[in-house]
Structure 1
Amino acid sequence: MPTLAIVDFNIVCATLGGFVTLFGLVSYLCKEKYYLSEALISLVAGLIFSPHATNLIRPEHYALGDPEVLGTITLYFSRLVLGVQLVLAGVQLPSKYLKTEWKGLALLLGPGMTIMWLVTSLLIFAFVPHINFLQALAVGACVTPTDPVLSNSIVKGRFADKNIPKDLQNIIIAESGANDGLGYPFLFLPLYLIQHIGYGGAGQDHSTANAIGAWFGETWGYTIILSVIYGAVVGWIAKELLHWAEKKNYVDKESFLVFAIALALFIVGTVGMIGSDDVLACFIAGNTFTWDDWFRLETMDDSFQPTIDMLLNVSIFIWFGAVCPWAKFANNSVIPIYRLIFLGILVLLLRRPPIVFSMHKWIHQIEQPRQAIYVGFFGPIGVSAIFYLYITLEFLRGIQVDGQIRPDAEFLMEVVTVVVWFLVICSVIIHGLSIPMGKLGFWLPRNLSRMISSRRDDSPEPFHVANIEDETEDDGRGLRRRPGAGGLVDTLPQHVRRIGRTVIHRSRDSSQSGPPIPMSNNSKPPSDSGDHEQPPLDEEYKTA
């Protein structure tokens, strides 16, 4: 007997499928007409579907009420999306891009990321009560990398094609891809120091040497260098294998197009198993995979990869909207809501724009100051920040005394959760609305100015509709002039038309054929003699 099966799987499939279907119907209007990012729309949809509203998506229920399980799900989902995004980001770059453009990237990834980290940490230290600077450095490191998922909204689409030079798009893609993986050193330096020397009681060895040794050995050696080597080797082998299979006609079109995404899944899984930096490995593998530009050019006009990219972006931000701790922004024990708001504003204004503007003269892709302001402002905080947030929480849970999480680690867990989530929400909203608000700010004053100027007293009157019975006088050229607002105004006979400054004579002999005869204003029309059919006397003509 048929029964209702209102279970979680069916609800999630119906909700996600229904939203993607409805959004697809107006996606062009939203993204290309109003320049709204799909991340912002999906985040709002996730909030609507969450337990805070309709309760169609229930993350805590799926995790059986365990916050640690929920964090693990979010971490793995973020890893998956970042892995695919970064392989595709590496594939988008031109041939040998990391080799030819290393100087500009080195500035953005070296001094640029360092200043972004320190400025953000100082702001967090200033606004969060009872936090020390070492803890602020850990929180600031989570939001230092720019996000490749949100960056797509400013380097793809009609707005980017019309307003952003291709070189500038490429440097944004390359930076957002590389700095995601390079966030590990900024994060684990303060975390190792907190673990070893950051607490006054038990549960640490008070050894700075152990902290620095772990940072160099585990973070730089095992995490960064190993992932770069692994990604380069796997990307090169994949490129050679695909070349060979394509020459032998062993690979079909569908498998060819999905190859980069399958490569991303393989790297996320294998690098995850050895505990290295799968995010950085994916970006390096993607760039190595298209080192000769062959795969990028072959798939340039294909829509399969952008389609998968869009589905992942929509899904992850719906999940973020549902899993975000919205209530904690107003009710938490670490920072008042008004401080959070000021912190979000200042981080977006001071974290990135000043350092990018000060370095833009040495980065040849950023040619003008307004481009530097643009690149500086659009350094979004998104999926990568959530990824590092849950990496931090996982690490802090391991800092224990007598089987309990150490008090300073527990305090930092609450701070990093509230602050990072709030900064991500701020970035998604502000960066998602910046382009449409900027377009509105440019369009509205211009159109108001046009409306006001069109009503000035000295503006020309609209065209007049005249009747040949109006009072007129002959000007000697076969044309007539009548009194008007600015003096005498030309009034044409029935067989003559004026277009602009050109007079066109219409033949009155119905047997004649051919186009009208154009005449200058100084020319006389043909003689008015001869039999012809006069148009009605009440026919009206427009005069220029």
Structure 2
Amino acid sequence: MDQLNMGLAVVGGLVLVAGLLSSPLDRSVLSGPMLAFLIGVLLGPHGAAWLDPSAWGDARQILEHTARITLGISLMGIALRLPPDYPFAHWRSLLLLLGIGMPSMFLISSLLTHWVLGLPLLLALLVGGTVCATDPVVASSIVTGGVAKENLPESFRYLLSSESGANDGLAYPLVLLPILLMTLPGQDAWLDWLGKVWLWEVGAGLVAGGVMGWAAGHALRWSERHRFLDQPSFLSITVALTLLVLGVGELIGTNSILGVFAAGLAFDQQVGGKDRSEEDNVQEAVNILLTLPVFVLFGLIAPWAAWWALGVEGLLLAVLVLLLRRLPLLLLLRRGLPSLRDWPITWIMGWFGPIGASALYYGSFVSSRTGLDLAWTAGSLIVLASMLAHGMTAAPLARRYGRWQRQRR
């Protein structure tokens, strides 16, 4: 019971501080996820030892489920933040980023892991799949908040938001592919991947999420017409929709994370444009409340001994993944992305592809399903490097771009 009360006090205190100091934190080099991680380290077994996650059960599995809920809440927030017609008006850019960019980031990360750590290719693919998605939680530091809105163009923020919203769920087939190849005969693995994973888990997940989002939006309109709904209930509806899709998706065996994003987009088609400023504010408040705990938990269970065992190669891998996984690719794809209208914003888009809660989720997912900890160890080390590098550079890069734009006028 003391552990529970301590955990509640830590999370409540952290969210309170983050809320009261939201503007200074937004403008500082210390991001919310990094602050949460440091608090977890400080209070965990490697710090003051006030919280011991090993006493709670399987800490890695707790992190997996916590990260899944965190991603769901964050993806719903992204879907509601986007203009309702954005995915349809900019489908070519999204197709380029998701159809070419994401598989390329998967292969680049895998090959870097294979080369630096000397792992067999299938094991390297597990690591590559774990870290290939652009994380919506850490990315929020450069697409929301005063600094981002004052300095960065909407077109960039919408593009990064929509990419990070979609590719968290689409990373799932890339993570599953090496797992299937390691556990099934070759032909069976490919048939299972194309049929069960893509057609059912991804395809049916999108349809199920879209249907539930459309139905919830339609029900909201009906309730408003009959004056059954008080406006403050809007927040509870979006959170409830997130939890509904996450639960139903898992029960029917589909990709619930991708389903949440589809549900949010479909819901927004029904209700988009109504009191959007208030909607953004309340949704961001929920994001802060429900996304920081996963990074506290990450700090509590961070595998310091396993990171140390990776040695210099682990550090080199983290640096190379951050530098080469995304930036060269975005420079090559720039001509097909109208939102990247100048070179500075292309460099920012190329650099700022953070790795965070999604990698924690997939690293835990791989560990629980294969018994192999390498994807978790390497993936979580890259998450730490990303939180440091991207958290420290988000506000300075945004301000510098804003100054550059103002000087051009």
Fold shared, TM-score > 0.5 on shorter chain: yes
Q: In the superposition, relative to structure 1, how do residues 257 and 237 fare at CA in structure 2: closer, same or farther (>3 Å)?
A: same
Q: Equivalents in 2 of 1:216, 1:114: separation in Å?
A: 15
1:37 aligns with 2:15: no
- Report the CA distance between 1:439 and its aligned residue: 8.0
Q: Equivalents in 2 of 1:133, 1:110: separation in Å?
A: 22
Q: Equivalents in 1 of 2:61, 2:263: separation in Å?
A: 25
Q: Structure 2 matches for 1:344-493, cutoff 5 A?
A: 344-397=318-371, 413-436=372-395
Q: Equivalents in 1 of 2:140, 2:375: separation in Å?
A: 26
- Report the CA distance between 1:255 and its aligned residue: 1.5
Q: Equivalents in 2 of 1:232, 1:30: separation in Å?
A: 35
The residue number in structure 2 matching 1:14 is 9
9-18 vs 241-250, which moves further: 9-18
Structure 1 contact 120–347 (Cα < 8 Å) conserved: yes
The residue number in structure 1 matching 2:296 is 318
- Report the CA distance between 1:299 and its aligned residue: 3.6
SS where residue 56 of structure 1 aligns?
coil
- Report the CA distance between 1:256 and its aligned residue: 2.1
1:60 aligns with 2:41: no
Structure 1 residues 486-536: Cα deviation after superposition (integer angstroms, max 9, x where no partner): xxxxxxxxxxxxxxxxxxxxxxxxxxxxxxxxxxxxxxxxxxxxxxxxxxx
The residue number in structure 2 matching 1:85 is 74
SS where residue 277 of structure 2 aligns?
coil
Structure 1 residues 122-141: Cα deviation after superposition (integer angstroms, max 9, x where no partner): 11001113x21122112101
Q: Equivalents in 2 of 1:230, 1:149: separation in Å?
A: 24
Q: 1:166 aligns with which of 144, 154, 158?
A: 154
Q: Structure 2 matches for 1:234-249, cutoff 5 A?
A: 234-249=212-227
The residue number in structure 2 matching 1:517 is none
Q: Equivalents in 1 of 2:17, 2:212: separation in Å?
A: 39
Q: In the superposition, relative to structure 1, how do residues 429 and 296 fare at CA in structure 2: closer, same or farther (>3 Å)?
A: farther
TM-score (norm 1): 0.71
Q: Equivalents in 2 of 1:26, 1:92: separation in Å?
A: 23
Identity %: 31
Q: 2:101 aligns with which of 96, 106, 112?
A: 112
SS where residue 290 of structure 1 aligns?
helix
Q: In the superposition, relative to structure 1, how do residues 441 and 376 fare at CA in structure 2: closer, same or farther (>3 Å)?
A: closer
- Report the CA distance between 1:417 and its aligned residue: 2.1
Q: Larger RCO: Structure 1 or Structure 2 (Cα < 8 Å, ≥ 6 residues apart)?
A: 2
Larger radius of gyration between Structure 1 and Structure 2: 1
Q: Equivalents in 1 of 2:171, 2:44: separation in Å?
A: 30
Structure 1 residues 145-185: Cα deviation after superposition (integer angstroms, max 9, x where no partner): 11010110000112211221111111111100100110122
The residue number in structure 1 matching 2:145 is 157
Q: In the superposition, relative to structure 1, how do residues 23 and 156 fare at CA in structure 2: closer, same or farther (>3 Å)?
A: closer
Q: Equivalents in 2 of 1:262, 1:441: separation in Å?
A: 39
Q: 1:338 aligns with which of 312, 317, 332?
A: 312
Q: Equivalents in 1 of 2:8, 2:274: separation in Å?
A: 35
Q: Structure 2 matches for 1:523-538, cutoff 5 A?
A: none
When you count strand as a share of all residues, which structure comes out higher? 1
243-252 vs 90-99, which moves further: 90-99
Q: 1:26 aligns with which of 21, 26, 48?
A: 21
- Report the CA distance between 1:23 and its aligned residue: 4.1
Structure 1 counterpart of 2:312, one-letter code? Y
Q: How many residues align?
A: 400
Structure 2 counterpart of 1:387, one-letter code? Y
Structure 2 counterpart of 1:13, one-letter code? L
40-49 vs 236-245, which moves further: 40-49
1:229 aligns with 2:207: yes
Structure 2 contact 246–260 (Cα < 8 Å) conserved: yes
- Report the CA distance between 1:441 and its aligned residue: 9.1
Q: Equivalents in 2 of 1:229, 1:437: separation in Å?
A: 40
Q: Equivalents in 2 of 1:88, 1:438: separation in Å?
A: 24
Structure 2 counterpart of 1:431, one-letter code? H
Q: In the superposition, relative to structure 1, how do residues 432 and 29 fare at CA in structure 2: closer, same or farther (>3 Å)?
A: same
The residue number in structure 2 matching 1:530 is none
Structure 2 contact 40–296 (Cα < 8 Å) conserved: yes
SS where residue 193 of structure 2 aligns?
helix
Q: Equivalents in 1 of 2:352, 2:208: separation in Å?
A: 31
Q: Equivalents in 1 of 2:195, 2:395: separation in Å?
A: 46
Q: In the superposition, relative to structure 1, how do residues 307 and 425 fare at CA in structure 2: closer, same or farther (>3 Å)?
A: same
When you count helix as a share of all residues, which structure comes out higher? 2
Structure 2 counterpart of 1:96, one-letter code? D
SS where residue 221 of structure 1 aligns?
helix
Structure 1 residues 31-81: Cα deviation after superposition (integer angstroms, max 9, x where no partner): 23x253211111111111111111222211111xxxxx2222111101111
Structure 2 contact 135–168 (Cα < 8 Å) conserved: yes
Show structure 2 runs of 5+ residues with no match: 402-409
SS where residue 94 of structure 1 aligns?
coil
The residue number in structure 2 matching 1:297 is 274
Q: 1:257 aligns with which of 231, 235, 247?
A: 235
Structure 2 contact 151–398 (Cα < 8 Å) conserved: no
Structure 1 contact 235–285 (Cα < 8 Å) conserved: yes
SS where residue 301 of structure 1 aligns?
helix
- Report the CA distance between 1:437 and its aligned residue: 5.5
Q: In the superposition, relative to structure 1, how do residues 59 and 133 fare at CA in structure 2: closer, same or farther (>3 Å)?
A: same
1:138 aligns with 2:130: no
Q: 1:220 aligns with which of 198, 213, 216?
A: 198
The residue number in structure 2 matching 1:48 is 42
Q: Equivalents in 1 of 2:13, 2:263: separation in Å?
A: 35
SS where residue 182 of structure 1 aligns?
helix
Structure 1 counterpart of 2:369, one-letter code? F
SS where residue 252 of structure 1 aligns?
coil
Structure 1 contact 257–299 (Cα < 8 Å) conserved: no
